[in-house]
Amino acid sequence: MAKKILLLIENEFRDEEAVYPYYRFIEAGYDVKIVGPEMGKEYKGKFGFTMKSDIAASGIYMGDVAAVIIPGGNAPDKMRVSRSMVNLVKDAFSQHKIIAAICHGGQLLVEADVVRGKKVTGYKAIATDLKNAGGKYVDEEVVVDNNLVTSRIPDDLPAFCRTTLELIKACNKE
């Protein structure tokens, strides 16, 4: 049973979209690792909260990973130019790991080319990007398409986390 959750981080992440899942998944008994382009670096959120990466994206072993969480803010736009961050998402997707993205997190999904043919949602400003990448965009609180979970805004965090946890449990037969 996979018990590790990877929380992807980069500067200007949306603070509550990183902090809320971080503590919610720890509360649920998971080992949450903060993953950035660099290991041991402190990343600053849009509103000033800082989080330090435990692991660099290039050093990930997917075998014990249950899910990858992608918070929004301006961070996904920065993550999408990091080859190691993009490859991490591609690898997770190809290994059928759960990938959960909220708000602008869908920008990293677009760059990793994992939304094609999938029903997805995200912040309204990236709806066209998701559609242009082949996604079937819908304006809903939370959307699940196989191993992909997407949500729109911080207000969706309770449904986003609850749904992601339910999917992890179902996929890992917990």
The sign of the CA dihedral 132, 74, 168, 151 is: negative
pLDDT confidence of residue 174: 54
pLDDT confidence of residue 1: 52
Distances from the Cα of 135 to the Cαs of 60, 74, 77, 132, 144, in angstroms?
Answer: 27, 21, 18, 7, 12
In this prediction, residue 138 has a pLDDT band, given cuts at 50, 70 and 90, of very high
In this prediction, residue 172 has a pLDDT band, given cuts at 50, 70 and 90, of confident
**Closest alpha carbon to 100 in 74, 72, 68, 136:** 68
In this prediction, residue 146 has a pLDDT band, given cuts at 50, 70 and 90, of very high
Rounded to whole angstroms, how far apart are CA atoms 4 and 2?
6
Supply the range of the domain harboring residue 92.
Answer: 4-171
Interval 52-91: pLDDT, tens: 999 999 989 998 899 999 999 999 999 999 999 999 999 9
Over the chain, what is the mean pLDDT? Answer: 96
Q: Where in the sequence numbering do the catalytic residues fall?
A: 103-104
Domain at 102, CATH number? 3.40.50.880
130 compared with 1, residue with greater pLDDT: 130
Domain count, the chain: 1
Question: What mean pLDDT do residues 113-119 have?
Answer: 98
